[in-house]
Amino acid sequence: MPTLFDAVTFGDLALANRIIMAPLTRNRSPHAVPNDLNVVYYEQRATAGLIVSEGTPITHQGQGYADVPGLYLPEALEGWKKVTDAVHSRGGKIVAQLWHVGRISHVSLQPNGQAPVAPSAITAKSKTYILHEDGSGAFAETSAPRALELDELPGIVADFAKAARAAVDAGFDGVEIHAANGYLLDQFMKDGANQRTDAYGGSIENRVRLTLEVVDSVAKAIGAGKTGIRLSPTTPANDVTDSDPQAVFNMVVEHLASRNLAFIHVIEGATGGPRDYQYEGTSFDYAAFKAAYVNAGGKGAWMLNNGYSAETAKEAVESGKADLVSFGKPFIANPDLVRRIKDGAAWNDINPQTLYGGGAEGYTDYPALAAAE
């Protein structure tokens, strides 16, 4: 029977344990460039079986929040190289989360103040994080997007592949394609945001097309064994909905099964909310979702996320429900979360006031057990 603490290999990723650090936006990389504070933060958490980096925009157009690190500037890649070297020096593994936010952005964050892009020109009822002229940060309503032209989509696919190659060159062990939480690829897959009438809209097959093209392009660029993907079938995050998520996401994973990816990272329910969340009047069967992947021949790790405790994570792995379990906010407050779970030690409480922006406070100053005893 597998346990959370067993070493495991999926694809090209050999992990020391099955406790994964989920991607966590912290807004502490001014000018989209990782810095020395980011190096300390990730190094502190290197005992995770795998770190999935914070969302990392593939292009300036893909940027939707202030002070998040990108993968499209030479100086950003140099900064990431320091991060990956530090994680590897501690024996850890880290993948970059490839991010294009689509409509979840603001004109102040876009090249030349242009409108954000989306599958359709539908403004999200959501907020993003921007900087004022005095340098202070604040949340603001997302800007109205424009619909992407058909001839722009191959460029976006190519941008994902280019960013994947850049990530591996910067020392990442692989990448996670961000196709969740109401960002660009999720927007294309869900009919609440996608009202296109061309080859990328309408039918489910059409709506999942862009995601699969991105997967194929990234896998070709760096290898399927270094590639994972994050999906969130039912989250309402960033005002995204779908009329039949079971049909959409069962089809997605049936297609992904033949791609031989390293892992499928699933956010159950509402991101940061209840795991049993359902769209109004709609149900979702996560067991059937996984079965669709396995029955289609999928062999990548099945990673689950959203509000797991030490006990529920242990149960998920031991029962075979999950191969890996990722933790988000617990890793913010507990850099040594793996040890705390193994020893049954108490977890530090998180300070919600220091989640986004700022400096070391609430970022690198949470005590590990050795310092707290």
* Catalytic annotation present for 42: no
Is residue 144 in some structural domain?
yes
| 198 class by beta-carbon count within 10 Å (0-12 exposed, 13-18 middle, 19+ buried) | exposed
Is residue 147 in some structural domain?
yes
> Cα–Cα distance between 127 and 104 in angstroms, integer?
7
Is residue 89 in some structural domain?
yes
Is residue 206 in some structural domain?
yes
- The catalytic residue among 183, 286, 308, 366 is 183
Residue bearing tokens 């992990």 = 15
Per-residue confidence (pLDDT) for residue 372, from 0 to 100: 46
Per-residue confidence (pLDDT) for residue 373, from 0 to 100: 46
Per-residue confidence (pLDDT) for residue 325, from 0 to 100: 98
Count how many domains the chain has.
1
3-state secondary structure the chain: CCCCCCCEEECCEEECCCEEECCCCCCCCHHHCCCHHHHHHHHHCCCCCEEEEEEEECCCCCCCCCCCCCCCCHHHHHHHHHHHHHHHHCCCCEEEEEECCCCCCCHHHCHHHCCCEECCCCCCCCEEEEECCCCCEEEEECCCCEECCHHHHHHHHHHHHHHHHHHHHCCCCEEEEEECCCCHHHHHHCCCCCCCCCCCCCCHHHHCHHHHHHHHHHHHHHCHHHEEEEECCCCCHHHCCCCCHHHHHHHHHHHHHCCCCCEEEEECCCCCCCCCCCCCCCCCCHHHHHHHHHHCCCCCEEEEECCCCHHHHHHHHHHCCCCEEEECHHHHHCCCHHHHHHHCCCCCCCCHHHCCCCCCCCCCCCCCHHHHC
| 137 class by beta-carbon count within 10 Å (0-12 exposed, 13-18 middle, 19+ buried) | middle
Per-residue confidence (pLDDT) for residue 371, from 0 to 100: 54
Per-residue confidence (pLDDT) for residue 135, from 0 to 100: 77
Tokens read off for 66: 């202030």
Range of the domain at 174: 8-372
Question: The CATH number of the domain where 144 resides is what?
Answer: 3.20.20.70
Per-residue confidence (pLDDT) for residue 61, from 0 to 100: 98
CA 135 to chain centre: 27
Is residue 3 in some structural domain?
no
Is residue 1 in some structural domain?
no
pLDDT along the chain (373 residues), means of 10: 96 98 97 97 98 98 97 98 98 98 97 97 95 83 98 98 98 98 98 98 98 98 98 96 96 98 96 86 90 98 97 98 98 98 97 95 95 49
